[in-house]
Chains A and B, each alone.
Chain A
Amino acid sequence: MNLEFIGQTLVTLLAGIPITLELAALAIAGGALLGFAIALMRLSQHPFLYVSAWLYVQIIRSTPLLVLLFLIYYGLGQFSALRSSFLWPVLKQAYWCAVIALVINGSAFAAEIFRGGLLSVGRKEVEAARACGMSGILLYRRIVFPLAIRQALPAYSNEMVAMVKATSLASLVTLMDVTGIAASIASSTYQPIPVFVAAGAIYLLINTLLTRAVRALEYRLTPHLRPAQYATASAVTEAGVTPT
């Protein structure tokens, strides 16, 4: 194993980082949005809404992401109606298939986390807000969501790491992300160990930075959970005054 080879490998792998990061960002953002909608459905009073949301979450969480990905990438092409529809230019691309699979997969896990966060908001806080005359969207926007997000953030940070790792499956539908490039270098150079270790180091770095960033955000958002001398007043007023 020589250092020069590892250096070259790392440089080649760097080319895969943008696509890995794009997939991860789209999956996290899309998963969060869809997951949030599903969490609200889960918590609604309407039986059809919460039963279908519950079923969705159970089905997606019990199915391997690879099945979902192949179902979308290989399976949808089976329908000629779909192949001739306006959707096909998008659905025939591995990239968008990977994004859709990652978003669907992520949304089921995100939904459960958001649901937990929303359920954690105490009756007392809500009552206090109602006593101030807040209701409906205002109540949710100013009191419930801010509290729920703070509660859900640590668990969601794990979910984001899981999504970054999950993007590696895109390599199995021909995308040249970090894993895809690593697999191709490994098979052409017959030096799999340094290649996969280098690729692993890249993911580890991305996930470490991501975890750090979320932890910093969490710290900023929760001065009320720290001992008084560490909680800066500026953070409190900022969170309280800035319209969100």
Chain B
Amino acid sequence: MDLARTFELVGFGPDGWGAILLAGTATTLAAAFCGLLLSFVLGALGASAKVAGGPAARAAAETYTTILRGVPELLVIFLFYFGSSSVLGAIAALFQYQGFIALPGFLAGVLAIGVVEGAVMVEVLRGAFLAVKPGEIEAAKACGMNTFLRFRRIIAPLTLRHALPGIGNVWIGLLKGSSLLSATGVAELMRQTQVAAGSTRLPFDFYVAAGAIYIVITVSSGVVFQLAERHYSRGVARP
């Protein structure tokens, strides 16, 4: 592996794949970010079902986390991508349409990684909520705060502070998991790397470059999360 050649290849020069890799990186970040939003919504729903739900809601949340944490992410991605095409195809057939239709790979992939990491987020948020001391919630009750105000001013901010490290892990999981979207043809970083590796016949150089880009992203998001944690945990004792 010739370093000068590698830098030229992944750079932005005339023979460089830099722009394409950068576009792939942007898609990777977008997929992970959309996945984070979805996983947060699912996590919040699941955690509240587990903490405060009735028997049916608790059982549903329990089933969701058990299944999604025991099944490979790649299978879930395949299920969403190819499964959506069979569902949509069946619907289209009702309207006499015969062609191949599917959810766009990006959308199906984001749904899949969001659902997978949502199961992790359920436990993150549940644990964070349980780390809020009951006395702190009681003090809010004793001041006459109603349920909504209590949640908005006391419970939610404290839960989020306790959850930050876990949310950081989910984010890393989403970044890495998004590389599997390449298997359904989404033009994210891994897919673009494959294209570059194939057409230059220099797979080693490009996969090392891709690895380096993933490391830069995870390390810098680690720094961001650590700063956020330090900022928000002023005064909050770690559980």
Q: Which residues of A does B touch, CB under 8 Å?
A: 58-59, 61-68, 70-71, 74-79, 161, 165-169, 171-172, 179, 182-183, 186-187, 190-193, 196-197, 199-200, 203-204, 207-208
Pairwise interchain contact B190-A186, C-beta atoms closer than 8 A: no
Residue total for B at the interface (Cβ-Cβ under 8 A): 43
Docked complex Cα distance between A203 and B140 (Å): 45
Pairwise interchain contact B75-A67, C-beta atoms closer than 8 A: no
| Inter-chain residue pair count (beta carbon < 8 A) | 124
Pairwise interchain contact A192-B176, C-beta atoms closer than 8 A: no
Pairwise interchain contact A63-B82, C-beta atoms closer than 8 A: no
Residue of B nearest to A172 (CB): B183
Which of B34-42, B125-133, B206-214, B224-232 touches A? Answer: B206-214
The answer to whether the Cβ of B71 comes within 8 Å of any Cβ in the partner chain is: yes
Complex partner residue of B70 from A166, A193, A208, CB under 8 angstroms? A208
Pairwise interchain contact A63-B215, C-beta atoms closer than 8 A: yes
Closest CB of chain B to A152's CB: distance in Å? 18
Pairwise interchain contact B74-A171, C-beta atoms closer than 8 A: yes
Docked complex Cα distance between A182 and B71 (Å): 13
A62 cross-chain contacts in B, Cβ below 8 A:
172, 214-215, 218-219
The answer to whether the Cβ of B194 comes within 8 Å of any Cβ in the partner chain is: yes
The main secondary structure of chain B at its interface with chain A is: helix
| Cβ proximity bits B165-185 to A, threshold 8 Å, 1 near / 0 not | 000000010011101101100
Pairwise interchain contact A204-B70, C-beta atoms closer than 8 A: yes
Docked complex Cα distance between A3 and B194 (Å): 39
A193-B87, A200-B71 known; A67+B211 contact, CB < 8 A: yes
The answer to whether the Cβ of B73 comes within 8 Å of any Cβ in the partner chain is: yes
| Cβ proximity bits B55-97 to A, threshold 8 Å, 1 near / 0 not | 0000000000011011111111011001101110000000000
Complex partner residue of A192 from B71, B83, B215, CB under 8 angstroms? B83
Docked complex Cα distance between A54 and B45 (Å): 37
B193 cross-chain contacts in A, Cβ below 8 A:
67
Pairwise interchain contact A191-B214, C-beta atoms closer than 8 A: no
A186-B78, A196-B78 known; A78+B203 contact, CB < 8 A: yes
A59-B215, A67-B211, A204-B71 known; A78+B78 contact, CB < 8 A: no
Complex partner residue of A203 from B70, B177, B194, B218, CB under 8 angstroms? B70
The answer to whether the Cβ of B12 comes within 8 Å of any Cβ in the partner chain is: no
The main secondary structure of chain A at its interface with chain B is: helix
Pairwise interchain contact B74-A169, C-beta atoms closer than 8 A: yes
Docked complex Cα distance between A74 and B204 (Å): 7
A183 cross-chain contacts in B, Cβ below 8 A:
78
The answer to whether the Cβ of B197 comes within 8 Å of any Cβ in the partner chain is: yes
A77 cross-chain contacts in B, Cβ below 8 A:
203
B180 cross-chain contacts in A, Cβ below 8 A:
64, 66, 169
Pairwise interchain contact A65-B176, C-beta atoms closer than 8 A: yes
What are 27 pairs between A and B in contact, CB < 8 Å?
A58-B215, A58-B219, A61-B218, A62-B214, A64-B176, A64-B177, A64-B180, A64-B190, A66-B180, A67-B211, A71-B204, A74-B203, A74-B204, A76-B204, A78-B203, A78-B205, A161-B70, A165-B72, A165-B73, A167-B72, A182-B78, A187-B82, A192-B85, A196-B83, A197-B79, A200-B76, A204-B70
Pairwise interchain contact A191-B72, C-beta atoms closer than 8 A: no
Closest CB of chain B to A166's CB: distance in Å? 7
B75 cross-chain contacts in A, Cβ below 8 A:
168, 179, 182, 196, 199-200, 203
A65-B176, A77-B203, A186-B78 known; A203+B72 contact, CB < 8 A: yes
Chain B CB within 10 Å — which of A59, A66, A76, A79 has the most? A66
The answer to whether the Cβ of B202 comes within 8 Å of any Cβ in the partner chain is: yes
Pairwise interchain contact B69-A161, C-beta atoms closer than 8 A: yes
A63-B211, A70-B207 known; A203+B86 contact, CB < 8 A: no
Pairwise interchain contact A75-B214, C-beta atoms closer than 8 A: no
Closest CB of chain A to B18's CB: distance in Å? 18
A67-B210, A165-B72 known; A192+B79 contact, CB < 8 A: yes
Question: Which 10 pairs, one residue from A and one from B, show the smallest C-beta to C-beta distance?
Answer: A75-B204, A192-B82, A168-B72, A64-B179, A62-B218, A71-B207, A74-B203, A196-B79, A207-B70, A64-B176
